[in-house]
Copies of this chain bind each other. A is one copy, B any other.
Amino acid sequence: MKMIKNALNRFIPERINGQKQIPFKGVDKFKSSGKITNPQIRTCAEYPADGNKIVKNLKDALKKAGLKDGMTISTHHHLRNGDQLTNILFDTIHSMGVKNIRWFPSASFPCHSYLIRYLRDGTIHHIEGSMNGPLGKFTSEGKMKGVGVLRSHGGRYQSIQDGEVQIDIAVIAAPTADPFGNANGVNGKSACGGLGFALADSEYADKVIVVTDNLVPFPCVPWQIQGNNVDYVVQADSLGDPSKIVSGTTEMTKSPDRLLIAEYIAKFMDEVGIVREGFSYQAGAGGTNLAVILYLKEIMKAKGIKARFIRGGSTKYLVELLQEGLTDYILDGQTFDLDAVRSMHDNINHVMTTPFTSYNYHGKGNFASMVDAAILGATEVDINFNANVVSHSDGYLLHGIGGWQNCLYSKCTIIAVPSFRDRIPVILDEVTTLCGPGELIDVIVTERGIAINPKRKDLLNTVKNSSLPIRSIKEIQKEVYEICGGVPAKPNVNKKKVVAVVKWVDGTVMDSIYQVVT
C-alpha cells in the first residue's frame, strides 16, 4: 500500500480498494472539475402502468434488480439500533450465494454486529459508512477484507452525487409506503421520523427497493422518498424493534462536570452575542447537548428572544422549544424520540431536512455554514484545535462521523469535551485520527475552562473581561496531564496496515486508521 502525505501531513493510501484517491488539499482548496453522475434514462413503459411495483419478497426484488457478486448495496440508518431489515437483507444475499458486496450504509449500529459472520465469510467485502461499536472493533483488528471508508453525512451525499460511489441497489426501509414506492418515516409502527439519509440513494442508485411494514394505498403522503425513483416495493412483517428505533433514551446528563460544560457553553454563547433575536444553532442529542438546550432556554426566556431555527437531531427538548414559541422552526435531519416523530408529523414548522439541503459540500451552498453556532462532541482534540470523532486514544475505530464534519462550517463551532475520560486526557499534542481541521474549530469547552482558537481574535477580544474561565488550550492540557499522570501513551498500531480512511466533505482523504495490535 503506497502512502502519500496530505496537506495536514497525514499519510493516506494512494489507492483504496483499487480506487485512486485525492489527498486532502486544505479547507476549501479542492475544486472538482467533474460532473454530477448521470443515471440511465428510464421509461414509464418499463414500469407497471397501474403503479403497482410490489414483488413477492426481498429475494425476488434482489433477483429482479440483477444482484451479483461485487455489487454495492446501500441502506439507511433511520431505524438506528432497532434495524432488523439490514440483517435480513444480508441473510438473503448470503442465501443467494452472492459474494463480495460493498455495503454502503449511512451508518451501522451495534445491532449490525450480526453481520460479522458475513464479513468473515466473504458475503460482504467491506463497509463504507459509519461503523459504530462492534463493526468498528472488527475493522480495527484488521479482519475486514477491504478498507473501510468513513464519510460525513454530507460527504456520503457528495460521493453518491459525484459518482464516486455508484450504488447498484439501494434497499430503503420505509415505515410507510405505497405500492408505487412513495415512502415516509412519520407513520406506521416502525415510525422513525424523516428518511433524509436515503434521499441520495433513491435519486442515484441504479435500482431502488423500498421495503415496508406499513403498506398504504397510493398516495403515501408525505412522500419523503419519491416513488418515481423506485423500482420495486416489498412488504415485510416488520422492519425492526420500535422500542430501539425510537429509543426514548435521549437522557439529559446528570454528571456535574458535563452540566458545568453545558452551562459554560450557554453562557459563552450569550456573552459573545450569539444568543440574540433570530439566532440559530445546531443541537445534538447527546446528554451534554441536551443540557445546553435547557440552559439556552432559560437565557432566551429571560431575554425574551426567539431563535429563527434550531437544527436537530431532534428530541422532546427541541420540540418543547418549538411548542413554547422559542424558535420559529426545527430543521431536522433525524428524529430521535417519539415526541420528535409526532412533531414532524403534525407541525409544519418541524421541517425534515436532508444531507442535500444541510450538508452537501458540492451544492450551491448548504445550511451548515448558515448556523450561528454548532455544539459538537469529540473523542480527542489537540493543541492545534484539530479534533477526532471516530477513534479512541487506543486506536480503536468505534464511532461514525455523522454530520460532524459538515457542522464544522458553522459560524461558531464549539467542541464540548470532558478534559479526560477514564483517566485518559482528551486534549493531546496530536489527535490519533484527524477528522476536523483546527482552522474550523473555534472553541473547545471543558469542565476546566474554555479554550478559544487563537485565530478567533474577535471572540478573544469580546470575552477579555468575562468571568468565564477562558484559558489557553495548552494550560488546560498541562493541568490534565498532571492529574492523569503525564503524557498519555500512543496507540499501539501497525502503520503498515490501513484498515479505514476518513474522507473530508469534498471527497478528499483526510486521515488513515491503522490496525490495532492486540
Chain A interface residues (CB < 8 Å from chain B): 28, 31-51, 53, 161-162, 180-181, 208, 217-219, 221-223, 226-231, 278, 308-309, 329, 331, 348-349, 351, 356-357, 360-367, 369-370, 409, 411, 506
> CB distance B47 to A308 under 8 Å?
no
Q: With contacts A36-B38, A38-B38 known, what are 14 further pairs, Cβ within 8 A? A: A28-B44, A35-B39, A44-B362, A44-B369, A44-B409, A50-B370, A51-B365, A180-B365, A218-B309, A219-B309, A221-B348, A221-B349, A221-B351, A222-B351
Partner of A308, one of B217, B229, B366: B217
Residue among A42, A226, A361, A362 with the most chain B CB within 10 A?
A42
Residues of B within 8 A of A31 (CB): 43, 45-46
> CB distance A348 to B348 under 8 Å?
yes
Bound together, the chains give a CA A506 to CA B309 distance in angstroms of 43
> CB distance A364 to B39 under 8 Å?
no
Residues of B within 8 A of A362 (CB): 41-44
Bound together, the chains give a CA A34 to CA B49 distance in angstroms of 22
Please name the residue on chain B nearest to A368 by beta carbon: B44
Q: In the complex this chain forms, how many copies of it are found?
A: 2
Residues of B within 8 A of A228 (CB): 356-357, 360, 363-366
> CB distance A370 to B218 under 8 Å?
yes
Q: 29 interchain pairs (CB within 8 A)?
A: A28-B45, A33-B41, A34-B41, A35-B41, A37-B38, A41-B161, A42-B362, A42-B363, A44-B365, A44-B369, A46-B364, A47-B364, A47-B365, A49-B369, A51-B367, A51-B369, A180-B365, A217-B278, A218-B370, A219-B309, A221-B349, A221-B351, A226-B356, A227-B365, A228-B357, A228-B360, A228-B363, A228-B364, A228-B366
Residues of B within 8 A of A357 (CB): 223, 226-228
Residues of B within 8 A of A361 (CB): 43-44
Please name the residue on chain B nearest to A223 by beta carbon: B357
Bound together, the chains give a CA A57 to CA B11 distance in angstroms of 48
Bound together, the chains give a CA A83 to CA B37 distance in angstroms of 36
Bound together, the chains give a CA A84 to CA B92 distance in angstroms of 58
Please name the residue on chain B nearest to A358 by beta carbon: B228
> CB distance A221 to B370 under 8 Å?
no
Residues of B within 8 A of A180 (CB): 365, 367, 370
Residues of B within 8 A of A329 (CB): 219, 221
Bound together, the chains give a CA A130 to CA B227 distance in angstroms of 28
Partner of A364, one of B32, B42, B409: B42
Bound together, the chains give a CA A39 to CA B363 distance in angstroms of 11
> CB distance A218 to B308 under 8 Å?
yes
Partner of A331, one of B219, B230, B349: B219
> CB distance B364 to A231 under 8 Å?
yes
Bound together, the chains give a CA A358 to CA B229 distance in angstroms of 12
